[in-house]
Amino acid sequence: MSNSSSNGEGNGLRTIIIGAGMAGLLAGIKLKERGENDFTIYEKNDGVGGTWKENTYPGLACDVPAHAYTYSFAYNPEWSSFLAPGPEIREYFEDMVERYGLENHIRFNSEIDTCEWRGGQWHIRTKDGHEDVGQVLVAATGVLHHPNFPKIEGLDDFAGPSFHSARWDHSVQLDGKRIGVIGTGSTGVQIVGALAGRASKLIQFQRTAQYIMSRPGVAYTEEDKRAFREDPSKIEMIRDNPRSAEFRNLFLEAILKPESTALDDLEAMLIQNLEESVKDPVLLEKLRPNYRAACKRLIFSNNYYEAVQHPDVEIETGAIERIEPEGVRLKDGTLVELDVLVLATGFKADQFVRPMTITGEGGMDLEELWSQTPRAYYAVTVPNFPNMVLLNGPSGPVGNFSLIDVAEAQWNYFDQLIEPVRKGECLGIAPTMEALDAYDVRRKEAAAKTVWASGCKSWYIGDDGLPQVWSWSMDHFWDVMSKPKFDDYELFEAIAAE
């Protein structure tokens, strides 16, 4: 077995990190900060950035304010606007690689196939046969990276170019074309916002109307950037902005207590945005959602309602029957003729580390443990999978918050959790099954009460019909992540004291 990726400089544990997106790079930076250099980040793509590398569609932007979607230890005064465009975020992560000297730790074009806990170590193997061994496994694979191709008959029959939003084909000429976009999630909304006026006809196929929250896309001037450079407290003001905090609290209350007036208030705010923005009464009714606000992930946009009122843009609410070479055939028999077809149909959000095969203590297969639905103790660790952490894993807070803050808190938790292994008190540490089961009971109980479970379809809902996301307050999350409860953990192969 080759262990060629080992940098051999470590004084601690060897760590294998899966994924060079936001969370995987974070793990690398944090290890370096501790003076631990014995780690390798395996990345299936040929560059860093994860979702910000894979998604390149027109209009791609983060809906969390740029200064909040930034590592807490690496502010970026240079963000071009309040909401950063996707390519800029990818560049930020590329800069982080350089700034923290991660280049030699990343193995690109290396997709891990299997991870096996054997003899107190994680043995991994990539698709191209490379093998490696380490004591710690960091699964930073992201949540939304397996494109969901809709089950629509004839999808392959379309004569023109057709692609998923996360696999944008930049060789395709868009200007002056008849473009169809299936889907009205954040992605479909951003694409339509960007393409309105460029296509000769832009038709968005809407199965479900969305609530849209307006959010200004203010561009920062050179003066703003200088101020951010000179006075980081200006950045902090955006991160802790009391007005956003006020909205966050209203939003959280609405999610966690759908019977509260907070949800009515939120809904009223969103409907007001719709009614004030859209003039044509027919279009307005097409865009009026028929479910509770925030049941689906809230969409932030400053240009969507303007875009859908562009004379060349159309919202098609007729159900799709099938795709034909010339375009989309609706159930009522109408053929919507198209030159380009974009599938903004989302992701398989229940995949996490799949399709890797991960085998834990005693040959336990993660797939088996997850046969009903992906589970992890407080979203981070899994019984019988020692020294393994999931960053932004199942049941974590993924809804409308900065996932960077979430990953940083999860890393801080794991960093403390792994201490007994670092000290040589044991070879491995993992939560007990009882602890996971008890957590799951609490989680399901809380999840069933949230607005996410109020009857709409969304990527938050798991196979068990319940939301797969953090269903308590964020304060509870920060609190739980601040310190591991070691009583809920078991140690593997403890080394007897001399």
> Which residues 6+ apart lie within 8 Å of 382 measured at CB?
360, 366, 369, 375, 376, 388, 390, 430, 431, 436
Position 135 contacts ligand NA7 (CB under 6 A): no
State the amino acid at position 210 in one-letter form: Q
State the amino acid at position 131 in one-letter form: E
Alpha helices in 292-391 (DSSP H): 304-308, 366-369
Residues 379-398 that bind ligand NA7 (CB under 6 A): none
Closest CB to ligand NA7 among residues 182, 358: 182
Closest CA to 218 of 41, 354, 81, 327: 81
State the amino acid at position 459 in one-letter form: W
Choices 83-91, 225-233, 345-353, 386-394 (CB under 6 A): range interacting with ligand NA7: 345-353
Position 476 contacts ligand NA7 (CB under 6 A): no
Residue nearest to ligand NA7 (CB): 185
Closest CB to ligand NA7 among residues 152, 330: 152
Position 207 contacts ligand NA7 (CB under 6 A): yes
What count of other Cβ atoms lies within 10 Å of the Cβ of residue 115? 24
Residues 346-375 that bind ligand NA7 (CB under 6 A): 346-347
Residues 294-313 that bind ligand NA7 (CB under 6 A): 297
Position 344 contacts ligand NA7 (CB under 6 A): yes
Q: How far apart are CA 125 and CA 129, in angstroms?
A: 6
Position 328 contacts ligand NA7 (CB under 6 A): no
What stretch of H or E contains 189?
A: helix 186-195
Point out which residues pair with 137 in neighbouring strands.
16, 388
Closest CB to ligand NA7 among residues 86, 383: 86
Q: How far apart are CA 171 and CA 168, in angstroms?
A: 9
Minimum CB–partner distance for residue 338 and ligand NA7 (Å): 15
Position 199 contacts ligand NA7 (CB under 6 A): no
> Which residues 6+ apart lie within 8 Å of 115 measured at CB?
16, 18, 122, 123, 124, 137, 356, 357, 358, 359
Minimum CB–partner distance for residue 311 and ligand NA7 (Å): 23
Give the residue, chosen from 152, 155, 364, 474, that forms a contact with ligand NA7 under the rule CB under 6 A: 152
- The C-alpha angle with vertex 424 and arms to 420 and 131, in degrees rounded to 5, equals 100
Choices 16-24, 73-81, 181-189, 227-235 (CB under 6 A): range interacting with ligand NA7: 181-189
Measured in whole angstroms, the distance separating CA 295 from the mean position of its chain's CA atoms is: 17
Contact 280/203 with Cβ under 8 angstroms? no
Position 56 contacts ligand NA7 (CB under 6 A): no
Position 459 contacts ligand NA7 (CB under 6 A): yes
Position 320 contacts ligand NA7 (CB under 6 A): yes
Give the residue, chosen from 70, 76, 345, 387, that forms a contact with ligand NA7 under the rule CB under 6 A: 345
Position 182 contacts ligand NA7 (CB under 6 A): yes
Contact 29/53 with Cβ under 8 angstroms? no
Closest CB to ligand NA7 among residues 25, 299: 299
Choices 248-256, 276-284, 342-350, 426-434 (CB under 6 A): range interacting with ligand NA7: 342-350
Minimum CB–partner distance for residue 362 and ligand NA7 (Å): 36
Position 187 contacts ligand NA7 (CB under 6 A): yes
Minimum CB–partner distance for residue 390 and ligand NA7 (Å): 18
Give the residue, chosen from 6, 208, 373, 412, that forms a contact with ligand NA7 under the rule CB under 6 A: 208
Closest CA to 459 of 292, 296, 344: 296
What stretch of H or E contains 31?
A: helix 22-33
Contact 464/373 with Cβ under 8 angstroms? yes
Give the residue, chosen from 185, 327, 393, 467, that forms a contact with ligand NA7 under the rule CB under 6 A: 185
Q: Compute how many residues bind ligand NA7; rule: CB under 6 A.
A: 21
Position 142 contacts ligand NA7 (CB under 6 A): no
**Would you mind telling me the total number of residues written for the chain in this entry?**
498
Position 61 contacts ligand NA7 (CB under 6 A): no
Minimum CB–partner distance for residue 305 and ligand NA7 (Å): 16
Position 186 contacts ligand NA7 (CB under 6 A): yes
- CA distances 101 to 96, 105, 154, Å, are 8, 8, 48
Binding site for ligand NA7 (CB under 6 A): 144, 150-152, 182-188, 207-208, 297, 320, 344-347, 457, 459
